[in-house]
């Protein structure tokens, strides 16, 4: 009985050796492992540069929309659509606080006591390499939404009223007032340097369809005419650190 069982086991091993030689090769290629695993998390791990894994970026950020949501940091799978390259390189070398109230999951949320861990600091070489990779992360088929024509002084004054009073954006976001001072709420990310940090097309699409980027969130969905959405976007893009006084 035992000899018969042994023959069956040996035959099964023989078939495995013939059909799946990579399983007995001692080391299996990384690409082979990924193909066999077939999971989004494993595939994404291969796409994420070693520096991102070393800095444990995925502990706070999503590099894929299919990954589990985290409230610890912004999603990065559309970084190339959202952030300006120069700002991001500078930010990774000298991180600045964008959410002064912290994230909603922080015990000290809105009390000026954010408990999020300090952001990793990268060298200039590391920052450039990381940003080169992050700029490749984009949503497919995101069209241009904003032209380069600036707001006239008169239109800017009108849109300022829409932004601050009609839609109450300043209740959640820091902005720059006409005197060049920072004002506004802190429950959302600061917009005081939005013109340095963000890309206009992304701001437009975020205002129009925020759920394309974030499944759940506190950002309201505004049902606005397209031309008004464009004007608000252009107004937001006028907020730059060089305008502070």
- Does the CA dihedral 83-133-210-103 come out positive or negative? negative
pLDDT at residue 53, as a whole number: 85
The whole-chain average pLDDT of the chain stands at 78
Question: Which residues pair with residue 83 across a beta bridge?
Answer: 198
pLDDT at residue 40, as a whole number: 41
- How does residue 20 score in pLDDT terms, banded at 50, 70 and 90? very low
Residue 146 neighbours by CB under 8 Å, 6+ apart: 200, 201, 203, 204, 230, 233, 234
Q: What are the domain boundaries of the chain?
A: 19-48, 49-134, 153-243
Q: The tokens of 90 are what?
A: 């500078």
Domain 49-134 annotated CATH 1.10.760: yes
Residue 1 has pLDDT above 70, yes or no: no
Establish whether domains 49-134 and 153-243 are of one fold.
yes
Residue 19 has pLDDT above 90, yes or no: no
Residue the block writes with tokens 């004002």: 183
Angle, helices 153-161 vs 226-237, to 10°: value is: 100
CATH ID of 153-243, from 3.40.50.20, 2.40.50.140, 1.10.20.10, 1.10.760.10: 1.10.760.10
- Given a contact cutoff of 8 angstroms between Cβ atoms, the answer to whether 214 and 65 are in contact is no
Residue 194 has pLDDT above 90, yes or no: yes
- Given a contact cutoff of 8 angstroms between Cβ atoms, the answer to whether 189 and 219 are in contact is no
pLDDT at residue 127, as a whole number: 94
Query: Alpha-carbon dihedral of residues 8, 13, 17, 21, nearest 10 degrees?
Result: 150
The 3-state secondary structure of 160-178 reads: HHHHHHHCCHHHCCEEECC
| pLDDT tens, residue by residue, 37-68 | 334 433 444 556 788 888 888 888 888 877 77
Region 71-83: mean pLDDT is 88
Q: Is 162 exposed, middle or buried (0-12, 13-18, 19+ CB in 10 A)?
A: middle
Specify the pTM: 0.74
Region 13-17: mean pLDDT is 44
| pLDDT tens, residue by residue, 139-182 | 888 888 899 899 998 999 999 999 999 999 999 999 988 788 89
């Amino acid at each position: 009985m035992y000899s018969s069982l042994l023959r069956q086991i040996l035959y099964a091993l023989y078939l495995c050796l013939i059909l799946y030689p990579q399983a007995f090769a001692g080391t299996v290629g990384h690409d082979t492992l990924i193909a066999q695993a077939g999971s989004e998390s494993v595939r994404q791990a291969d796409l994420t540069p070693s520096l991102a894994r070393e800095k444990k970026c995925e502990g706070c950020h999503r590099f894929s929309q299919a990954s589990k949501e985290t409230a610890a940091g912004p999603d990065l799978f559309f970084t190339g659509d959202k952030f300006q390259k120069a700002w991001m390189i500078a930010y990774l070398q000298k991180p600045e606080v964008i959410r002064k109230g912290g994230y909603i999951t922080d015990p000290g949320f809105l009390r000026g006591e954010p408990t999020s861990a300090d952001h990793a600091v990268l060298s200039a070489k590391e920052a450039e390499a990381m940003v080169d990779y992050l700029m490749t992360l984009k949503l497919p088929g995101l069209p241009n939404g904003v032209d380069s024509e600036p707001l006239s002084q008169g239109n800017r004054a009108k849109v300022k009223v829409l932004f601050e009073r009609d839609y109450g954006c300043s209740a959640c976001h820091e902005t720059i007032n006409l005197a060049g001072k920072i004002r506004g709420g802190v429950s959302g990310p600061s917009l005081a340097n939005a013109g340095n940090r963000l890309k206009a097309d992304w701001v437009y699409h975020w205002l129009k369809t925020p759920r394309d980027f974030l499944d759940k969130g506190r950002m309201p969905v505004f049902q606005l005419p397209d031309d008004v959405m464009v004007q608000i976007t252009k107004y937001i893009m006028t907020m730059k650190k060089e305008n502070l006084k």
